[in-house]
Amino acid sequence: MNPVSFDTAADRPKDLDGLVLEAWGQGLLVGALVVMLVLTASNMKRSKMLHKLIVLELLLAAGHGAFIFFHKPVYGWYLSITAIGLNISYTLHNIIAWIKIKPFLPPWGSRVFLGSLLLAQPYWLLETYANFSFFNQGKLLFLKTRFLEPFFREPWWLYASYALCHAINKCYALSLPTLIQVSPRFGIMLILMCLSVGFIIIDICAVFGVISTALPAGIEPFWKLSFVFKCMCDTVILDDFKVALDQIREHWMNRQAEQGGLPFYTARDPPRSLPNRVDDIES
């Protein structure tokens, strides 16, 4: 990480390689979010709150990808203001993750999920101040709070991803390869999840100095890649989550009927631990 001064913090990278890399990262972020926003908006249903939240998540984050065009003092102001929307989108992403796994959680599980997420919000208030004071006043608090960012951003989404796979595997006794075969959408989602986790690890290594970068503090590109892949997970299962569960349920019923030598209609009831209506998954 380059030495920090007010001049380097408040302006875009001076090094050509760093400038090109950061411009590429911001272009990728905005381009990917715009494409996902168009796809989501064109397929969303007005009655589905989940769809509206995903659109809002993408809108809030998309603004944080154009500060590379400016010089100080506009650079610092634009970066800090749009970072507020980005930070809100992080929390919103975790709320979306909770909505998707809510049918598989007991009441106390939902309370713990949302309660712990609420307890994390003071950090984001501190991070907002630290970001502004760093990029506009040269204060170095951001260099300390940035180390904590992944730990206040990622755990809920990672747990939701694990809980979804575990619940389907447990309720239907399906292995992941079988699950992917029954519903390729889940296969795509799992690949995106793995890519996101990989870049989360790289981002943490970059923040802690394990990986040396030529970029000024706070603008590493790795979190952008992780965030893009996380948002893709939301977009991939926007309208097909119900369809995927229907396919899994049908596979389970057929397998139960074949193994038990029973007529198909006697195996139509899903496991008791599943919601009675698949529509509940997006309610």
Domains of the chain: 6-282 (1.20.1070)
Name residue, tokens 């997420």.
Answer: 117
pTM recorded for the entire structure:
0.82
Specify the pLDDT at position 219: 64
Helix H or strand E segment including 222: helix 222-236
* Between 108 and 164, residue with greater pLDDT: 108
Query: How many Å from the N-terminal Cα to the C-terminal Cα in the chain?
Result: 45
What is the rounded distance in angstroms from the CA atom of residue 224 to the CA atom of residue 199? 9
What is the rounded distance in angstroms from the CA atom of residue 3 to the CA atom of residue 249? 56
Q: Is the pLDDT of residue 132 over 90?
A: yes
Specify the pLDDT at position 180: 78
b (16+ CB within 10 A) / e for 29-66: bbebbeebbeebeeebeeeeebbebbbebbebbbbbbe
Name residue, tokens 């029973």.
Answer: 262
Name residue, tokens 């040396």.
Answer: 212
Within 1-120, where are the H helices? Answer: 6-9, 16-43, 49-62, 74-101, 107-119
Q: Is the pLDDT of residue 217 over 70?
A: no
Instruction: Read off the pLDDT of residues 69-97 as tens digits, 9 standing for 90 and up.
Output: 988 889 989 999 999 999 999 999 999 99
Residue 223 near residue 203, CB atoms below 8 Å: yes
Token pair belonging to 130: 């630290």
Q: Is the pLDDT of residue 1 over 50?
A: no
Q: Is the pLDDT of residue 202 over 80?
A: yes
Pick from 50-64, 131-145, 160-174 the range whose average pLDDT is largest: 50-64
Instruction: Read off the pLDDT of residues 2-52 as tens digits, 9 standing for 90 and up.
Output: 444 445 556 788 878 778 888 999 999 999 999 999 999 888 888 888 889
Residue type (1 letter), 196:
S
pLDDT tier at 272 (50, 70, 90 boundaries)?
very low
